[in-house]
């Protein structure tokens, strides 16, 4: 096979150690192999960097093993081309397996140009990505804690959630504070309601007729304290995200023109894919990387049914939320696409299809640096006017009408 890189290295990364194998190809075609083991501490990684510099190695490959590759990449990315490889792409014939053999196998594949690099965004994008992913985690924790709070209320026979839309709104927090203070009279608790909730006073008195025990108050107090702590953490984290995303203001503003994509969702999308689409050959490659397209499963000349491929679950989550928001935004192309597909395939498959369309739009908006232009809610009707005419004429005839179509001058 053709030698692509005359000097390269393969790294087998673990939690405590890194096994490095350097392959040097001489002009006569002979290969010199050198193997050395380093610790995964910063001092050991700096020694690894110096050792690679001594061998004049500028091409390095390693597996994406959990988060253990991150410290190695942070040290080696300056001045070198580091290829991060998906472990599923390195299937070997079963047999003897050692760390040295794994490192040598990586180096040999890199030497012949047989490795496909994973997408690693620049450092500013990676920093924003860490923050947005942590924000998502905190939001999920807050939702879980609110659910635990409502479970305690149900256990204490307080049906506040059946009457109030937001248990943690202004009225809800006043009532919960009174419950923690020892108040149990339903009428007194109901009088703490404010705004539109006061129009539901009879139902509210019934809902607040509970059986609150001392251990319920302990659980309510801890849940409320945890929710307040999470709210403070989210506020502080959001300030840092706003500061970091200032470097991507143009990209965020462009994505904000897409229906269903707000500023927070736009920042999360930029944090996952970056603002430079040159890394992806086409929108199809981006959809495949994100896991928003069906897998390629073919046998005997027939394409078989398959599920969506695995990809970036964080990006899929954001686009799924955007797709649900689009399904409730009337008068847009994406809204029409959702309801057109939901009638035939079900709403969940329609959500996946809309999420794919949103990602394609993201690719073209960021590549062309132009705001999104909606195709209109009647786009699918305009694609095949005759089909729409036949459908409605057929429905009217089924209802017993004789139909004659006369085109208007405007048409």
Q: What is the mean pLDDT of residues 108-116?
A: 89
Q: What is the mean pLDDT of residues 94-110?
A: 83
Q: What is the mean pLDDT of residues 161-182?
A: 92
Residue 295 has pLDDT above 80, yes or no: no
pLDDT tens digits, residue range 315-373?
A: 999 999 999 999 998 889 999 999 999 998 999 999 999 999 999 999 999 999 999 99
pLDDT-based confidence at residue 99 (cuts at 50, 70, 90): confident
pLDDT-based confidence at residue 44 (cuts at 50, 70, 90): very high
Q: Which of 89-93, 166-170, 328-332, 361-365 has the lowest mean pLDDT?
A: 89-93
According to the per-residue pLDDT averaged within each range, which of 93-107, 133-147, 190-204 is highest?
133-147
Identify the pLDDT of residue 139.
Answer: 96
Mean of per-residue pLDDT scores for the chain: 91
Identify the pLDDT of residue 116.
Answer: 85
Identify the pLDDT of residue 95.
Answer: 60
Domain residue ranges of the chain, discontinuous segments joined by +: 7-111, 124-245, 247-297+304-368
Residue 275 has pLDDT above 90, yes or no: yes
Identify the pLDDT of residue 73.
Answer: 94
pLDDT tens digits, residue range 374-391?
A: 998 888 878 777 888 888
Yes or no: domain 7-111 corresponds to CATH 3.40.50.150:
no
pLDDT-based confidence at residue 40 (cuts at 50, 70, 90): very high
Q: Could you tell me the pTM of the whole model?
A: 0.84
pLDDT tens digits, residue range 231-263?
A: 999 999 999 999 999 999 999 999 999 999 999
Residue 410 has pLDDT above 60, yes or no: no
And the tokens for 373?
């232009």
């Amino acid at each position: 096979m053709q030698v692509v890189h005359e000097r390269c290295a393969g790294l087998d990364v673990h939690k405590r150690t890194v096994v490095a194998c350097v392959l040097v190809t001489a002009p006569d075609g002979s290969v010199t192999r050198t193997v050395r083991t380093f610790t995964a501490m910063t001092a050991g990684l700096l020694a690894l960097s110096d050792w690679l510099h001594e061998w004049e190695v500028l091409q390095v490959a390693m597996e994406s093993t959990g988060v253990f590759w991150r410290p190695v990449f942070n040290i080696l990315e300056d001045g070198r081309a580091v290829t991060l490889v998906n472990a599923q792409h390195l299937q070997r014939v079963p047999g003897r397996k050692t760390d040295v053999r794994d490192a040598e196998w990586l180096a040999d594949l890199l030497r012949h140009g047989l490795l496909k690099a994973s997408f690693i965004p620049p450092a500013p994008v990676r920093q924003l990505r860490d923050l947005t992913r942590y924000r998502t985690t905190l939001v999920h924790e807050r939702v879980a804690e609110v659910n635990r709070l409502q479970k305690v209320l149900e256990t204490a026979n307080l049906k506040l959630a059946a009457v109030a839309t937001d248990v943690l709104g202004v009225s809800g927090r006043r009532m919960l504070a009174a419950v923690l203070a020892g108040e149990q009279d339903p009428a007194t608790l109901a009088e703490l309601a404010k705004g539109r909730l006061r129009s539901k006073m009879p139902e509210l008195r019934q809902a607040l007729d509970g059986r609150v025990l001392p251990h319920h108050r302990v659980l309510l107090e801890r849940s409320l304290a945890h929710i307040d702590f999470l709210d403070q953490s989210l506020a502080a984290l959001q300030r840092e995200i706003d500061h970091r995303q200032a470097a991507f203001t143009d990209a965020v503003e462009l994505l904000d023109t897409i229906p269903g994509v707000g500023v927070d969702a736009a920042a999360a999308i930029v944090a996952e894919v970056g603002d430079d689409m040159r890394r992806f050959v086409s929108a199809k490659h981006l959809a495949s990387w994100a896991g928003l397209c069906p897998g390629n499963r073919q046998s005997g000349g027939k394409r078989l049914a398959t599920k969506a491929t695995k990809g970036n679950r964080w990006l899929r989550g954001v686009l799924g939320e955007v797709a649900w928001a689009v399904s409730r935004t009337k008068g847009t192309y994406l809204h029409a696409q959702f309801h057109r597909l939901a009638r035939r395939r079900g709403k969940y498959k329609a959500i996946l299809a809309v999420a794919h369309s949103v990602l394609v739009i993201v690719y073209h908006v960021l590549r062309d640096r132009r705001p999104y232009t909606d195709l209109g809610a009647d786009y699918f009707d305009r694609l095949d006017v005759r089909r729409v005419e036949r459908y409605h004429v057929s429905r009217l005839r089924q209802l017993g009408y004789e139909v004659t179509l006369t085109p208007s001058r405007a048409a």
